[in-house]
Chains A and B, each alone.
Chain A
Amino acid sequence: MKLLIVEDEPELLDTVVRYLQAQQYHCETASTYEQAQEKMLLYDYDCIILDLTLPGGDGLDLLRELQRQQKPTGVIITSARAAVDDRITGLELGADDYLPKPFYLPELSARVAALVRRRHFQGTNLLRVGQLAVDVPARRAAVADRPLNLTRTEFDLLLLLLANQKRVITKGAIAEHLSGDAAEQFDTFENVYAHVKNLKRKLTEAGAPNHIRMVYGLGYRFDPEPAA
């Protein structure tokens, strides 16, 4: 999977690239409007992560150009501009997703994964981790063909974990993923704890190994092959 990350802030670019590379994505970068324009037109990417405020131009213009060229690329806008109309314009110009800054890396990773899945498998794809099989479009999961009875929230949680395997996902990232902006208004992560506990219980009851580990109260990590 080849990604183009367009971001003018070098520190942010570096962190995002490292995180996504660890998720087995091939990442290329552009930090100015011209660089991004050149790479976008010369190569094909599975997904472009696009910052809107760039030195040399407006990211929305890049989107317009992409639309003119009819490139089959998925685009996720990450922007510090939180204006409602930017979001709408971006989505109208063919962007697939809009992630306002500041974002959590696991969230970005999950959005990229979802986009790539949507674009590449035309809705028929099965995520497999050991005995665990997840049919994303049908929103069904099973362990060794024994179906799991997951709530909507638990399924979303599972997808987030699967998109960030072997990475620690902080409780804040999980809370925001599960309940959106409302999460910001509460300091307690008890819900996160409860949902993870339920998911773990259902997985173990279905015979799966203990994939999900808590890391020092910071967050949780999904290990595809847990050590005993």
Chain B
Amino acid sequence: MEMELAGIRKSYKKKNVLVNISLSIGKGNCVGILGGNGSGKSTLLSILAGVQKADGGAFIYQGEDLLQNSSKIPPVLGYVPQGNPLIEELNAWDNLRMWYDRATLLQELEQGALAMLGINSFLKTPVHKMSGGMKKRLSIACAVVARPKILVLDEPSAALDLVCKENIYRYLERYKAEGGIVLLATHDMQELELCEQCYILKEGVLEAYQYDGDLHHLAGKL
């Protein structure tokens, strides 16, 4: 397997948020993590992104434990948090320039990931004037700089309209097709259709789940 989580643990003040989280994901696969509010989905993703420290466990990518060497996480993993990590006063171009050099940015806008996300259409729009969908696409664009092999998204299409969702899903499909690994925390059933594997995170324990379209059954599990 390309990526493996082994026994990741995290607790806050004696409360176990994550208990021995283990899973494996292959190249070009997408894994969806479902769970109620406060179930620890965001904590798990932020540990993988190197934002928070785990109490124990390993995040192995190509045989190396990235939790032991967090400086190796940024080139490998792109992280899109739940909110939008953007500078409101600046436009899309300025936000992207923080991560891309000029030549790469122009190239990506021409025919790369940024073209696919449709960033060109609002390149000069200040972030504070953007719609939720534009912001989310721009956030993803910022995260996929240097073409990371793993993309971690925290509820990527929450509160977005259908057109935006479609745009993001198309991008994620292409990302997978190019061999990328996607790990997303979600509440959205449409997003589950992108996933090859689903897990439910409940009381810190990860449990595999096969979504068969029965929403009532799923709600009962959360």
Do A and B pair up? The answer is no
